[in-house]
Amino acid sequence: MAMINYCTILFPLLAAIMIYSVSANFHQDVEITWGDGRGQITNNGDLLTLSLDKSSGSGFQSKNEYLFGKIDMQIKLVAGNSAGTVTAYYLKSPGSTWDEIDFEFLGNLSGDPYTLHTNVFTQGKGDREQQFKLWFDPTTDFHTYSILWNPQRIIFSVDGTPIREFKNMESQGTLFPKNQPMRMYSSLWNAEDWATRGGLVKTDWSKAPFTASYRGFSEEACVVSNGKSSCSNGSGQGSGSGSWLSQELDSTGQERMRWVQSNYMIYNYCTDAKRFPQGLPRECLSA
């Protein structure tokens, strides 16, 4: 599915900076890490499926680690009664003070929409949730979900439409993930204790196995190997002014994001004063 780019068109970086730009062959780019055969790569590496039954879910991770990048994945979510299931697609670093950038798709009863949950963790600290309903059925076809992560911002996009921007506001005391390399992960698992209507609706195991499908994985990224980045200065702060390394939302992108947030956002931590009785987080006050 073609990506709609509301930002400045990407230009090649200067020769001094080496960026990986790859379209997927899942055999080459990822490894299935759990699920005892429930994760499968087929179609000569073009298609990956994860399945979930009452015994186990399944998951995979990228072979590369990234310190900044633009990661795209086309996903077709579990169809029918997906209540209790979670399909997660995210970037994460290891350790107890991890960084993480999340897409989570919370299943629902047949005919009811998925909840798209987003979050950003820095040094193990999260609580930055925004949730959305999608404006299409994500189970009938593949749709592209993108994470753009550069030193200035994180942009979550769906089919090229930005839905959320998390800016680097370290100067105002807000933590921002910029020092820890992350891998891409995805998994399909059972979370019936909380995923659908706060756990009131349980997984219907008579519908198992549940299956999510993946294709079109691509990475334009500073890849870290043996502690060294493929971006020559190590920080990813290159001088390719039109690239994802310095990409930001133009006026059209901002307008599209406002449209999504006005019509499809169902939770925003920045407006939840009851959750933060001591005051909203700094980045909410500066937004």
- Percent over 70 (pLDDT), the chain: 87
Closest CA to 137 of 60, 78, 220: 78
Query: 175 lies in which domain range?
Result: 26-226+242-284
What mean pLDDT, rounded, does the chain reach? Answer: 89
Residue-level pLDDT at 197: 85
pLDDT on residue 2: 42
| CATH number for the domain harbouring residue 258 | 2.60.120.200
Confidence of residue 6 (pLDDT cuts 50, 70, 90): very low
Structural element, H or E, at residue 264: helix 251-264
Question: Percentages helix, strand, coil for the chain, rounded to the nearest 5?
Answer: 15, 40, 45
In the predicted model, what is the mean pLDDT of residues 21-33? 85
| Total Cβ atoms within 10 A of residue 173 | 10
**Residue 20: Cβ within 10 Å count:** 14
**What's the order of all strands across the beta sheet hosting 130-133?**
30-34, 58-62, 183-190, 85-92, 100-106, 115-121, 130-133, 265-268
Q: Is residue 202 part of a domain?
A: yes
- Split into its structural domains, the chain has a count of 1
In order of 16, 57, 139, 221, the CA distances from 63 in angstroms are 25, 20, 27, 13
Does the residue 151 lie in any domain?
Answer: yes
83 in a domain, yes or no?
Answer: yes
Active site residues: 100, 104
State the pLDDT confidence band at 28, using cuts at 50, 70 and 90. Answer: very high
State which amino acid sits at residue 131. Answer: Q
Does some domain include residue 78?
yes
Q: What is the pLDDT of residues 179-205, one digit of tens each?
A: 999 999 999 999 999 888 888 899 999
SS3 47: strand
Task: Note the pLDDT tens digit of each residue in 209-241.
Answer: 999 999 999 999 999 999 999 986 544 443 333
What pLDDT is recorded for position 14?
28
Query: Could you give the CA distance from residue 116 to residue 113 in angstroms, rounded to a whole number?
Result: 9
* pLDDT (mean) for 126-135: 96
Residue 134: count other Cβ atoms within 10 Å of its Cβ: 18
194 in any annotated domain = yes
* Residue 12 included in any domain: no
More confident of the two residues 216 and 20: 216
* 8 Å CB contact between 90 and 100: yes
The confidence score (pLDDT) of residue 243 equals: 84
Q: How confident is the model at residue 11 (pLDDT cuts 50, 70, 90)?
A: very low
